[in-house]
Amino acid sequence: MDPIKNFLECDISAYSFEDKITYLNKVESFLSTQDKFYYQDNYSEINDSDYDKLKKHYMQVLQKYPFLIKESKYSESIGFMPSEKFSKVKHKIPMLSLSNIFDESDLDDFYEKIRKYLNLNLDSTLEIVSEPKIDGLSASLLYKGGVLTVGATRGDGTLGEDVTENIKTISNIPKIIESKDVPEILEVRGEIYMNKSDFINLNEKMLQNGKQTYVNPRNTASGSLRQIDPNITRSRKLNFFAYTLGEISNHNFKSHFEVISKFKEWGFAVNPYTKINRSKNELIESYSELDAIRSSLDYDIDGVVYKINSLHLQDRLGFISRSPRWAVAHKFEAEKANTKIIDIDIQVGRTGALTPVAKLEPINIGGVVVRNATLHNEDFISGIDSDGNQIRNGSDIRIGDTVEVIRSGDVIPKVIGVDISKRLPNSQKYEFPKLCPICNSPAIKEINASTGKSSSVRRCTGDFYCLSQELGRLEFFVSRDAMNIEGFGGKSMKLFYDKGFIKRPNDIFTLQSKQGLGLIDISSLDGWGSISMSKLFSSIDEKRQITLDRFIYSLGIRHIGINTAKIISQNLNSIGNLISLIDNLNSKYNSYLESFLENDGIGEVAIKSFLDFLSVGHNASVVKNLNDQLDILDFVIEQKLDSKLSGLSIVFTGKFDSMSRAEAKDKAERMGAKVLSSISNKTDLLVAGQVSGSKLTKAKDLDIKIIDENDWLNLLN
Ligand code: IVH
């Protein structure tokens, strides 16, 4: 029997939904087998024209029954598969970002932190690879059996967009890796970018056609990759540099440089300025060389990335929140220009901080028009830094002054200096408001309890009465690192807030039902229609499930960053326990405080801020209402299932030879333990290095199990 003829002649119109899926999957599995023969084994079982006929028929089926697209499991290795919109791809290994450094002293800190963490001598040699930081967008390419199967954007680091078909149009990305030594699963990560020359050509064409020009190569590359029609992506001539591994089924690479060399062998473009350095001076030299040739390159680079070469050391160093400890981006100096301050606006953020923003005479800095720049805080305007020392020789900044403004990449432009010689004779010192411009509550400078110094920042005391703080919290709640709800960008949240559609975070999750009941009408808002509205509803629905730590972080409580939120969640474990904490907070404030303080890595200021936030009735009800709307998942530490440490409370004391305390703590936590800072009868294990004092004595008194460094290393193995 001829399977192709069978497939082609089969009339599925009367099939049930399930049978249509079965039929579709059968065709797909047949096509996949043929692809594998053709691409991997260099052999064909059927002739090309039959293959093309079946492929065409398959596409027609999908066009006729678009609901089948979701059920489709097939993505051929070359060619084009229409996609209605991009589906999401979960990155098995999160795609992280890099922390930035700006000068030599930051570089010293980078070295010092690494040596301290790894417990290395100051004079030990570390191999560090330097490579340009390409100003594009990162992408992940997944190869199965050497065939490019999935291409995805970074997204929020965990979930990216499936842009496979568009990625396949990029000419310097291999669609198939011919080499015999390619692992079964291989994920190559790197940067997609547009050449400056192609960007200029594209803009010339836009001008000729009377169309608006694009702003910069990076944004254009990003927009080009997200086109529904891959032919548009193809016409934009994007390029790719491979720079790191993601998932891989098996390998025995020892160093990053080896990986890069292998990428090259497998047919990927790797950056030619990738180099191994053995000292800080060599790194600085590599940085200067790249800075010097920067403008002559045909692609934008905005700094140099330094990566520890040894993969074993990379593994030991691991990550801190969203960045690796083993790599850092040394940014180039940002571009600067001089302009005049027309006015100073005061903005109030979610934590009540009054931030002065200079309204500028518009100025073009490195191709971007800048109209606003931050003036940081009251002290900065007066010529004082956060330690109380003079800056700019003590010169203040006034409306009408000519100032120097700096802009770098995606950060907010900043005022960095003032040209006193151009000051107008009748100018007045800027009087910083003592009342919140939004709610009129007193704005005060807090005194730091430990240093006794007054803060540089003036804060509104209106808290929940202040609309700006409320709006700031809402904006934070939906932002990428928090709940990550797409669709509230730009001024949308303010619009919803001003209309009264959203006042508290929980209102976000009842928008759809209110719209359904006719209580609100989102589609009538400026810039909104039924399509954008239903898109918003589906992105809200996608985020109804969230882990406890991310939920706590999303509340936007002052001093509670993602790491602190994790430690709190590790202690609370479930949303149920958070709710009972709220209910018992009045009577048990101090005992909660004490028990949180037992954790390593969390301080009193943060915990008090957390508890104080929850003791306000308004906040407590927001948390409870959100709990009704959301599925808040228990905090689970990623742990080895068979770990001997999971669930144990551990205290470390003394010095270790093989690793720093920080590394020991991370290792214990990764294996499912809770690391406490002091011994109590809740402690299960004390790991005692050399010179252990009172903790050792106390552990002996309480009859707690004590082990030394050797036992600890055995436990880890
Ligand atoms: S390594 C775990 N290398 O910079 C670190 N990133 O803020 C993975 N980038 O999202 C990134 N050039 O888009 C690395 N040579 C390079 C890079 C590079 C540009 C981008 C990348 C990443 C961002 C980090």
pLDDT, average across residues 481-501: 86
Helix (H) or strand (E) holding 617: helix 617-629
pLDDT of residue 484: 87
pLDDT, average across residues 527-552: 89
Enter the pTM of the model: 0.64
Q: Which residues contact 318 (CB under 8 A, 6 or more apart)?
A: 324, 325, 326, 666, 670
User: How far apart are the CA of 184 and the centre of ligand 1, in A?
Assistant: 25
Q: Which residues contact 194 (CB under 8 A, 6 or more apart)?
A: 136, 217, 218, 220, 221, 224, 236, 237, 238, 239, 299
**Residue 51, amino acid:** Y
Q: Average per-residue pLDDT in the chain? A: 88
% of the chain at pLDDT higher than 90 = 54
Measured from the Cα of 244, ligand 1's closest atom is 1
Q: Which residues face 194 on adjacent strands?
A: 238
What does the H/E/C string look like for 300-359? CEEEEEEEECEHHHHHHHCEECCEECCEEEEECCCEEEEEEEEEEEEEECCCCEEEEEEE
> For 649-699, what is each residue's pLDDT tens digit?
999 998 888 888 888 888 888 888 888 888 888 899 999 988 778 888 999
In this structure, are residues 185 and 246 in contact, taking their beta carbons and an 8 Å threshold? Answer: no
72-76, 84-88, 95-99, 628-632: segment of lowest average pLDDT: 72-76
Spatial separation of the C-alpha atoms in residues 656 and 679, rounded to whole Å: 19
Best CA proximity match to 359, nearest among 374, 343, 347? 343
Quick one: pLDDT band at residue 79, thresholds 50, 70, 90? very low
Measured from the Cα of 274, ligand 1's closest atom is 15
**Residue 83, amino acid:** S
> For 169-223, what is each residue's pLDDT tens digit?
999 999 999 999 999 999 999 999 999 899 889 988 887 877 767 767 888 898 8
What residues are annotated to the active site? 133
pLDDT, average across residues 528-554: 90
Long-range residue pairs from 170-173, CB within 8 A, at least 24 positions apart, any chain: 170/233, 170/238, 170/239, 170/240, 171/237, 171/239, 172/239, 172/240, 172/268, 172/269, 173/141, 173/148, 173/240, 173/268
Strand ranges in 231-272 using DSSP code E only, listed in sequence order: 238-248
Spatial separation of the C-alpha atoms in residues 661 and 255, rounded to whole Å: 25
User: How far apart are the CA of 256 and the centre of ligand 1, in A?
Assistant: 14
DSSP 8-state class, residue 294: G
How many CB atoms are located within 10 Å of the residue 104 CB? 13
What is the best residue among 128, 129, 191, 481 to mutate for testing ligand 1's pocket, by most ligand atoms within 8 Å of CB? 191
User: How far apart are the CA of 485 and the centre of ligand 1, in A?
Assistant: 24
pLDDT, average across residues 254-260: 98
pLDDT of residue 67: 72
Q: At what angle do helices 604-615 and 617-629 cross, to 10 degrees?
A: 80
Long-range residue pairs from 39-47, CB within 8 A, at least 24 positions apart, any chain: 39/77, 39/78, 39/146, 39/147, 39/176, 40/145, 40/146, 40/147, 40/176, 46/4
What is the best residue among 129, 134, 135, 411 to mutate for testing ligand 1's pocket, by most ligand atoms within 8 Å of CB? 134
pLDDT of residue 414: 92
The tally of CA atoms less than 13 A away on the side-chain side of residue 591 is 6
The H helix count followed by the E strand count for the chain is: 24, 26
pLDDT of residue 640: 55
Quick one: pLDDT band at residue 80, thresholds 50, 70, 90? very low
Spatial separation of the C-alpha atoms in residues 341 and 247, rounded to whole Å: 50
Which residue's CA lies nearest to atom 6 of ligand 1? 133
pLDDT of residue 42: 47
* Longest CA pairwise span in the chain (Å): 96
Phi-psi group of 685: left, alpha or beta (phi > 0 → left; psi -120 to 50 → alpha; rest → beta): beta
Residues with CB under 6 A from ligand 1: 96-98, 131, 133-134, 138, 154, 191, 243-244, 305, 324, 327, 329
> For 109-122, what is each residue's pLDDT tens digit?
999 999 999 999 88
